[in-house]
């Protein structure tokens, strides 16, 4: 199948902003795609070659693409850079440069989808010495065999900036239309539900499309979890208070909400797979957990869920999330990391045991099965700590103890609820954690954006005041909360914020800008962490702009003292 067929659809997608139009274009393409290419097309439509749960990444940077474009088109690198600076888009750059050379090229050139897909995949697998040259030649080969327009999309895909990519919802609806003939009304609702179920089980729309095409509704509804492939987990809803949460269910248990990372473990005999909440495969990073699952889980075949935390090797006490993220990111010298940062696993659910799906068992039943399956190793491999009580005083004490122990809060779980994959549903889990007060911080730097945010500052360095020196110290990078388009009156767009900051630019280096501290932003965040990467020694996790505080001058902004106090308070004053 020719790549140009996909490219035509990319063009169509970039011209239609209407969702229905997009669905129609994608559905038509899916219908005309053969079985072998279906998974490839579905991924390429999303600008990807790996499902989101794969631990592989195409990983090509702007700089390398500049080089590739230069060697493939014969234009010197500085000319390519100049064009890139004008357009802010390397895809357009390669297209324009190739167009301008067109007269010299004989005949039309075309690549096929399989070739593009396989070359993109190869990009992820080359590593080590000489890998740069190999990557250059892989993309160059594609460009040399492409039309200018095809080259544009190849370059954008390699950079992970397809721009016309379609969201998963569009793919889902296109599958409904293409293979189930469902485009509206109840018929569509039923089809979408079946497709979603299959997606919850397989987490890969390529595979879901193939199931829909080959086996229709029956195949989709019957899709089951496959050991070794991650599924979309049950999500929690927020509750304003413990009391409120306890009023929501008739029968419930309160569990510690551990401050770590969610893990799903799949076991089939001696084989074990581990996936994170974002469904990344982290089996290699955690040989210690793999070994413990092998030894301490009695079921031969099962799928478990739990939360992992890093612990201090001496005291066994939980360590902040950053220590764990070092383990998650680490790809080499893993044995050394296992020693340096040991982990503790707290299991809280089981969704498959000995080949039987447990999604339609109640939580009470699942917890019982879980308790039978796990042999606890104190401090390392345990069942999540829980309390069954209806007494608010007792539950409050349990909650306070969890906070004192450095955990995030508690989960209140409905004992009568079934497991609903991939959903935040009423009736399942309610999370209770202390509400973090917002901070008023000052913008002291920014990074120029790329892609949709090209030409504007795309993320902002936040600073808090050092009371001693009067200087502002970095405590985070924020992009969330600032809007691409204005939909509400008090929305602030990247463009507006950039205009406000432009006159305060002190210096620029690469794509980073230093900004005179003038503008105060009220910032919400999930958590304050210690961090050596920022001059304040603190980093806000998931900072988000709440509003501009034009009524405040930088001198009124929050200082180190308050940040430090909130850091301590969030851990129950520990
Ligand atoms: P949140 O990420 O704030 O929506 O909270 C849900 C997350 O809390 C889950 O995805 C888990 O990673 C984590 N978690 C920690 N302890 C538990 C627990 N006992 N039960 C369920 N989830 C937990």
Backbone angles phi, psi at 467, to 5 degrees: -60, -30
Beta bridge partners of 413: 253, 429
Please tell me the class of the 439-569 domain: mainly beta
Tokens of 97: 């440069």
Q: What is the per-residue pLDDT across 129-145, written as a single tens digit (0 to 9) for each?
A: 888 889 889 999 999 89
| Across 52-56, 117-121, 243-247, 506-510, least confident range | 52-56
Q: Is 348 in the pocket of ligand 1 (CB under 6 A)?
A: yes
Residue 224 has pLDDT above 50, yes or no: yes
Res. 424: pLDDT tops 70: no
Tokens standing for residue 300 = 């031969």
236 lines ligand 1 (CB under 6 A): yes
Which atom number of ligand 1 is nearest to the Cα of residue 346? 19
Section 383-412 average pLDDT: 93
> What stretches of 75-204 show up as alpha helix (H) in DSSP?
77-87, 90-100, 113-125, 131-144, 148-159, 168-180, 185-202
Phi, psi of 302 (to 5 degrees): -165, 170
Q: Using CA atoms, how far apart are residues 322 and 338, in angstroms rounded to an integer?
A: 15
Output the residue whose Cα is nearest ligand 1's atom 18: 257
User: Mean pLDDT across the stretch 438-448?
Assistant: 95
The Å distance, Cα 337 to ligand 1 centre, comes to 24
Q: Is the CB of 231 under 6 A from ligand 1?
A: no
What is the b/e burial string over 497-524, where b = at least 16 CB atoms within 10 angstroms of the residue's CB? Answer: bbebbeeeeeeeeeeebebebebbbbbb
Judge contact between 244 and 215, C-beta under 8 A: no
Specify the 3-state DSSP secondary structure of 385. coil
Alpha-carbon distance of 362 to 251, in angstroms, equals: 11
Residue 24 Cβ < 6 Å to ligand 1: no
Q: How many A from CA of 147 to the centre of ligand 1?
A: 48
Q: Whose CA is nearest to atom 23 of ligand 1?
A: 257
CB proximity list for 221: less than 8 A, separation 6 or greater: 194, 197, 198
Q: What is the pLDDT of residues 517-560, one digit of tens each?
A: 999 999 999 889 999 999 999 999 889 998 888 888 898 899 99
CB 350 within 8 A of CB 305: yes
Q: What is the pLDDT of residue 423?
A: 73
**How many angstroms is it from 345 CA to the middle of ligand 1?**
13
Q: Which CATH number does 48-159 carry?
A: 1.10.3260.10
The set of catalytic residues is 257
Verify whether ligand 1 is closer than 6 Å to residue 45 (CB atom).
no
Q: Is residue 411 lining ligand 1, measured as CB closer than 6 Å?
A: yes
Q: How far is the CA of 483 from the centre of ligand 1 (A)?
A: 29
The topology under which CATH files domain 241-432 is: D-amino Acid Aminotransferase; Chain A, domain 1 (3.30.470)
Task: Parse the chain into domains and list their residue ranges.
Answer: 48-159, 241-432, 439-569
């Amino acid at each position: 199948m020719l790549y140009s067929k996909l490219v035509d659809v990319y063009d169509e997608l970039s011209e239609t902003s209407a969702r229905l139009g997009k669905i129609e274009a994608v559905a038509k393409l899916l219908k005309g795609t053969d079985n072998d290419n279906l998974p490839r097309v579905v991924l390429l439509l999303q600008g990807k070659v790996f499902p989101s749960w794969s631990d592989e990444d195409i990983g090509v940077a702007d700089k390398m693409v500049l080089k590739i474009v230069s060697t493939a088109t014969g234009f010197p690198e500085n000319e390519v850079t100049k064009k890139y600076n004008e357009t802010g888009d390397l895809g357009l750059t390669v297209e324009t440069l190739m167009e301008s050379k067109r007269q010299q090229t004989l005949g039309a050139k075309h690549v096929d989808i399989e070739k593009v897909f396989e070359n993109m995949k190869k990009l992820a697998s080359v590593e080590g010495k000489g890998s740069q040259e190999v990557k250059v030649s892989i993309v160059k080969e594609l460009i040399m065999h492409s039309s200018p327009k095809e080259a544009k999309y190849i370059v954008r895909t390699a950079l992970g900036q397809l721009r016309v990519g379609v969201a998963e919802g569009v793919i889902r609806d296109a599958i409904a239309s293409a293979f189930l003939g469902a485009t509206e009304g109840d018929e569509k609702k039923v089809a979408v539900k079946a497709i979603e179920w299959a997606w919850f089980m397989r987490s890969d729309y390529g595979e879901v499309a193939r199931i829909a095409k080959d086996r229709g509704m029956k195949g989709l509804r019957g899709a089951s979890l496959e050991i070794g492939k991650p599924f979309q987990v049950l999500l929690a809803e927020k509750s304003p208070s413990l009391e409120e949460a306890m009023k929501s269910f008739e029968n419930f248990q309160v569990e510690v909400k551990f401050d770590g990372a969610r893990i799903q473990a799949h076991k089939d005999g001696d084989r074990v797979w581990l996936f994170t909440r974002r469904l990344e495969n982290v089996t290699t990073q955690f040989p210690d957990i793999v070994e413990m699952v092998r030894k301490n889980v009695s079921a031969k075949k099962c799928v478990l869920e739990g939360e992992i935390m890093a612990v201090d090797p001496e005291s066994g006490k939980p360590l902040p999330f950053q220590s764990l993220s070092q383990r998650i990111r680490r790809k080499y010298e893993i044995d050394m990391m296992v020693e340096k940062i040991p982990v503790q696993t707290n299991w809280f659910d089981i969704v498959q045991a000995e080949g039987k799906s447990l999604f339609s068992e109640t939580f009470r039943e699942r917890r019982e099965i879980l308790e039978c399956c796990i042999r606890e190793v104190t401090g390392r491999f345990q069942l999540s700590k829980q309390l069954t009580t209806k007494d608010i005083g007792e539950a409050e004490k349990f909650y306070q103890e969890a906070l004192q122990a450095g955990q995030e809060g508690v989960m209140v779980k409905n004992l009568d609820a079934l497991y609903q994959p991939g959903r935040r549903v009423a009736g399942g889990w309610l999370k209770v954690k202390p509400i973090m007060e917002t901070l008023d911080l000052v913008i002291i730097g920014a990074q120029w954006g790329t892609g949709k945010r090209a030409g504007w500052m795309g993320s902002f360095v936040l600073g808090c005041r050092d009371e001693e020196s009067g200087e502002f110290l970095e405590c985070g990078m924020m992009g969330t909360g600032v809007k691409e388009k204005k939909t509400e009156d008090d929305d602030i767009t990247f463009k507006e914020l950039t205009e406000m900051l432009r006159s305060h630019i002190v210096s620029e280096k690469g794509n980073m800008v230093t900004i005179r501290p003038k503008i105060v932003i009220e910032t919400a965040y999930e958590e304050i962490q210690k961090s050596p990467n920022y001059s304040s020694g603190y980093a806000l996790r998931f900072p988000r702009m709440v509003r501009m505080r034009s009524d405040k001058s930088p001198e009124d902004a929050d200082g180190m003292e308050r940040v430090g106090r909130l850091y301590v308070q969030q851990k129950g004053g520990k």
